Amino acid sequence: MLAVIGGGISGIAAALELLDQGVSPNELLLVEAQDTLGGKIRSIEMAGKRVEAGPDAFLTRTPAATDLATHVGIADELVRPRSFSASIWARGRRHPSPEGIMLGVPVSVGQFVRTSVVLSPLGRLRALLDFVLPKTPLADDATISHLVRSRFGQEVDEVLVDPMVGGINAGSTRVLGLRAVAPQLLDAYQKNGGRSLARSLVAIVPPRPPAGERTIPFASFATGLDTLVRAAEAQLEAAGVKIVKGTKVESLANGRTGLTLQLAGAGRKRGEKIPLAAAILAVPASSASALLSQSARSASAKLERIEYADVAMTVMRYPKRAFSQPPQGSGLLVPRRFGHLVTAVTFASRKWEHLELPDSELLRVSVGRFGDRRFAAMDDASLQREIAAELAEMLDLGQGPDEAVTWRWQEALPQYRPFHKELVASIRSELAGAGTVELCGAAYDGVGVPACIASGTEAAKRVAARLAD
C-alpha cells in the first residue's frame, strides 16, 4: 500500500501521478484530516457567485496547473481575469502601480521615474543611485531587502517590493531569502556583472507582445477554483483510489517490518497498523515534523525550523452606491510600513467577469502576515468591523458591507528564509535513509498552485523510481 497523507492540491497531484506511474489504485490511499479535499483552495457562495476564500487564480507561465486541468478534462473551462493592475496605498491615498517594474523593482527607469508618484520625491531620487553606486557584495544568506535597499533605497523596498514580493508569502523582504524567493533577481544581478540592478534586469524582462496578443498570465474557473479539486477527486474515485476524509493520521512509524500507518477514528481496531511500501507527506512542515518525530528525528527537528504566516481572508459584498467612484483595476496593495490591518484588497467583481453583479461589488480582503497576528485576537465580527473602517478610508466608502464571511488560515504561507533550499535538500537526504518517505507542498518547493502541483508530481515520480529499483 502507498499512502498520500494530505489532500490539498499537492497531495491530489501526487496521487494522480502515482496512478500515471503505474501504481494500482487498489494499492493507493489518500488521507485528508478535513472533510473536504483541496486544502487552502476553498470556494464559497456569496450572492449566487463562487468566490475564493483562498487563492483566486494560478499562474499560467508555468504549465503545472494548466496541465492538471487538461489531465482531468476541464481545460476548456479556464477563464482569465479582465484586469490585473493593482494600485498601491501610500501616504494616505491610492496610487497606480508604477510602470517599468518587475517584482516591484525598477527596470525601465524612464517609465519608473515618470509614473512612480507612489514614492516621495526623495525616494525617487534615491532609486536613481542604482546607476552610480558600486556593486553590492552579496553573501549566501542575503535577503531580498539587502539587495533592493542597497540599490534603490528603503522606500522602494517597503512601498513596492515588500507588498508585491513579500505579499506573495505574507512575509517580509527583510526576512525572506533572496536566493530562495527571488532567484531571478540574484541570477540577473550576478550574471550581468555590472553595478546596476535595473540594467541587469533588462536582460530577463520578456518582450512585450503586441496589444492584440496580450494575455494576462493567470487563470481560474467561473465555477470556482475548487472546480480543479472536484474534477481531480472525481478522477481518483473513478479509478478506484481509496480516499479517506475527516480522518487524522495518528502515527507513521518505521520499524523492523518497514513503514506502518495508523489512522485515528477510522473504525479500525485500536493499535492496528497499515503496512506501507511508501508514504508521501503533503502536509505543512509542522505536521510532517510530528509524524516523523520517532522515525526520523533529525529531519523532524529541521522541519520545525520552517516558520509560517497565519492569514485571514474576508469576502465582503458592498452595494455599488457605497463607492464614490467605481473601483479601478484588480485591487489594492497595502505596504506594511503604514501599519494597517489590511494587507491587500481584490476587487473580485471587477477582476473577474463571472463575478460581476448588477447592484453590488465583491471584495476579497486579506489580513495577517509574518510577525503581524493582530487579527487572531479578534472574533469575526470585530475583524470585519476593523476591515470595514480601513476600507472606508482607502476606498472612500459611504457605508459598510451588506454581507461578509471570514476564513482563517493557520500556517497559511511558509517563510523561505536564507538557505531554505539547502534546508529542504538536507531533510530529503535524511529521509532517503529512513524508508520511502517523500515530502511535497508549499513548505518545500514554492508557494502558489502550480508550484504545489509540481511538488506533488515530482514527489510521486521519486517514490515510483525508488520502488522500481
Taking CA atoms, 352 is separated from 44, 46, 80, 86, 405, in Å, by 15, 14, 7, 14, 19
Is the pLDDT at 268 greater than 60? The verdict is: no
Give the per-residue pLDDT at 170. Answer: 94
Give the per-residue pLDDT at 105. Answer: 87
What values do phi and psi take at 200, rounded to 5? -65, -35
Say which range, 66-75, 259-268, 400-409, has the weakest mean pLDDT. Answer: 259-268
Mean pLDDT, the chain, integer: 93
Segment 333-389, tens digit of pLDDT:
999 999 999 999 999 999 999 999 999 999 999 999 999 999 999 999 999 999 999
Is the pLDDT at 395 greater than 90? The verdict is: yes
Nine cell digits for residue 102: 518587475
User: Cβ distance 155 to 119 under 8 Å?
Assistant: yes
Segment 102-159, tens digit of pLDDT:
888 888 877 887 788 899 999 999 999 999 999 999 998 999 999 999 999 999 999 9
Q: Is the dihedral of CA 167, 170, 174, 179 positive or negative?
A: negative
- DSSP for 195-227 reads S-HHHHHHTTSPPPPPGGG---SEEEETT-THH
Instruction: Give residue for cell 528564509.
Output: 417
The residue that leads in pLDDT, 103 or 456, is: 456
- DSSP for 376-426 reads GGS-HHHHHHHHHHHHHHHTTBSS--SEEEEEEEEEEEE---TTHHHHHHH
Segment 42-55, tens digit of pLDDT:
999 999 999 999 99
Segment 12-64, tens digit of pLDDT:
999 999 999 999 999 999 999 999 999 999 999 999 999 999 999 999 999 99
Domains by residue range for the chain, with CATH: 2-41+225-306+416-468 (3.50.50.60), 43-54+80-84+216-222+308-414 (3.90.660.20), 97-205 (1.10.3110.10)
DSSP class of residue 450 equals H
- HSE-CB at 193 with a 13 A cutoff on CA atoms is 0
Is the pLDDT at 211 greater than 80? The verdict is: no
Give the per-residue pLDDT at 272. Answer: 66
